[in-house]
């Protein structure tokens, strides 16, 4: 780190770690890149087809969705080619699913670091969320090809995509950080997380449209922050031909903010004892 040598003084005191925390987080930003880079470069080592997995997985999942929901269940897709309709939703969902489970296991996976080196622990789950962002970008490129194949051109709506991506990112981060810190003390979350991810797929509008949810349950449904994110994605990619109402985005934003606050506050509180209990 490039710390000026003069007056680098500090005091270690019970309960006084707060003061340096956010400063340290900035100072250790390189560690953050490196941890993310490590996870990315390790992922496809010793695999035969390597990065191709990042392409194959979403493609195959999409095909299954097409067969099950479109061809067999014949669910409506609001006038958008069904593969694009599904893929646009799968982008944020896969991002959430993979980064949420990675983030929640990240602290335990790096327990050797936690018990031997100091750095702001928040770096670990955040870096793992960024790792999934790489997969997201690859999938996004696939989507572009898919759209070209169907000659489905985006409109100005597409520029709002980063906004929804941001919303999804923070929703994931909040949930991931929250569960990560709980996971250190209570290993039960190792079993809870895959369950949430599995169940979440059915209660999020990935294979179907939000419009088929009965009117009176809609508000309840919006409490799942990914509903707003997924519908937002669909809306931005389909150029406004799918429905998006401001309530769901708003609810999603509020829930996300709360998740992030809850996650970070809880994380900071638990962080002090990580090295002792992990």
Partner 1 sequence: MTVAIKVENLSKKYIISHEKKTASYETFSGSLIQTGRNIGNRIINPFRRSETALGKEEFWALKDINFEINQGDKVGIIGRNGAGKSTLLKILSRITEPTSGKIHINGRIASLLEVGTGFHPELTGRENIYLNGAILGMSRQEVKLKFDEIVDFSEVEKFLDTPVKRYSSGMYMRLAFAVAAHLESEILVIDEVLAVGDAAFQKKCLGKMDDVSKVGRTVLFVSHNLTHIGKICSKAVYLEGGEVICSSSLNVAISKYIERDINGFEMAFKPLVDGAVRLQSVSVLSKDTKGVFLSTFNKELVIDVEFNLRLELNCVSFHLGIDTLLGVRVTTIDSKFNCFELEQLMPGVYKLNISLKDMKLMPGRYSISKFMIRDQSGEKACFLNNMVAFDVSDDLYQAPVGTGIILGEANWSLLK
Residues that bind partner 1 (CB under 8 A): 1-3, 5, 8-15, 17, 28, 30-31, 34-35, 38, 41-42, 45-46, 110, 112-119, 182, 185-189, 272-273, 275-277
Q: Which is nearer to partner 1, 47 or 211 (CB)?
A: 47
Helix (H) or strand (E) holding 206: none
CB of 53 to partner 1, least distance (A): 16
Strand runs (DSSP E) across 100-217, as ranges? none
Dihedral sign of CA atoms 9, 14, 19, 21 in order: positive
Q: Which is nearer to partner 1, 5 or 74 (CB)?
A: 5
Q: Which is nearer to partner 1, 254 or 275 (CB)?
A: 275
CB of 42 to partner 1, least distance (A): 5
CB of 190 to partner 1, least distance (A): 10
Q: Which pairs with CB-CB distance under 8 Å and at least 24 residues apart come from 106-114?
A: 106/176, 106/180, 107/180, 107/181, 107/183, 107/184, 107/274, 107/278, 108/183, 108/184, 108/187, 108/190, 108/278, 110/35, 111/278, 114/274, 114/275, 114/278
Whole-angstrom distance, CA of residue 267 vs CA of residue 278: 14
CB of 265 to partner 1, least distance (A): 17
CB of 130 to partner 1, least distance (A): 15
CB of 20 to partner 1, least distance (A): 9
CB of 199 to partner 1, least distance (A): 18
Dihedral sign of CA atoms 94, 204, 247, 252 in order: negative
Q: Which is nearer to partner 1, 112 or 151 (CB)?
A: 112
Q: Which is nearer to partner 1, 117 or 250 (CB)?
A: 117
Q: How is residue 42 written in tokens?
A: 């390790």
Q: How far are the Cα atoms of 16, 100, 102, 173, 205 from residue 127, in angstroms, in the given order?
A: 25, 12, 10, 10, 27
Q: Which is nearer to partner 1, 37 or 221 (CB)?
A: 37
Q: Are 78 and 241 in contact (CB under 8 A)?
A: yes
Q: Which is nearer to partner 1, 54 or 90 (CB)?
A: 54
């Amino acid at each position: 780190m490039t710390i000026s040598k003069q007056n680098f003084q500090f005091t270690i005191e019970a309960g006084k770690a707060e003061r340096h925390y956010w400063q340290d987080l900035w100072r250790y930003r390189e560690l953050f890149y490196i941890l993310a880079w490590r996870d990315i470069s390790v992922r496809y080592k010793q695999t035969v087809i390597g990065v191709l997995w990042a392409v194959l997985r979403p493609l195959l999942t999409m095909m299954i969705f097409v067969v099950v929901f479109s061809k067999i269940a014949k669910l409506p897709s609001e006038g958008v080619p069904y593969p694009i309709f599904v893929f646009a939703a799968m982008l944020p969902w896969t991002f959430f699913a993979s980064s949420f489970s990675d983030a929640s296991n990240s602290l335990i996976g790096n327990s050797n670091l936690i018990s031997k080196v100091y750095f702001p622990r928040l770096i670990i789950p955040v870096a793992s969320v960024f790792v999934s962002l790489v997969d997201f970008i690859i999938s996004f490129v696939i989507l572009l090809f898919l759209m070209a194949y169907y000659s489905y051109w985006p409109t100005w709506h597409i520029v709002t995509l980063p906004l929804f991506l941001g919303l999804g990112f923070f929703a994931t981060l909040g949930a991931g950080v929250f569960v990560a810190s709980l996971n250190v003390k209570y290993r039960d979350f190792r079993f809870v997380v895959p369950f949430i991810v599995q169940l979440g797929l059915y209660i999020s509008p990935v294979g179907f449209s939000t419009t088929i949810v009965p009117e009176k349950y809609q508000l309840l449904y919006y409490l799942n922050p990914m509903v707003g994110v997924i519908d937002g994605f669909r809306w931005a990619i389909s150029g406004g031909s799918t429905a998006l109402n401001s309530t769901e985005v708003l609810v999603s934003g509020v829930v996300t903010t709360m998740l992030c606050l809850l996650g970070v506050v809880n994380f900071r509180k638990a962080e002090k004892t990580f090295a002792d209990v992990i």
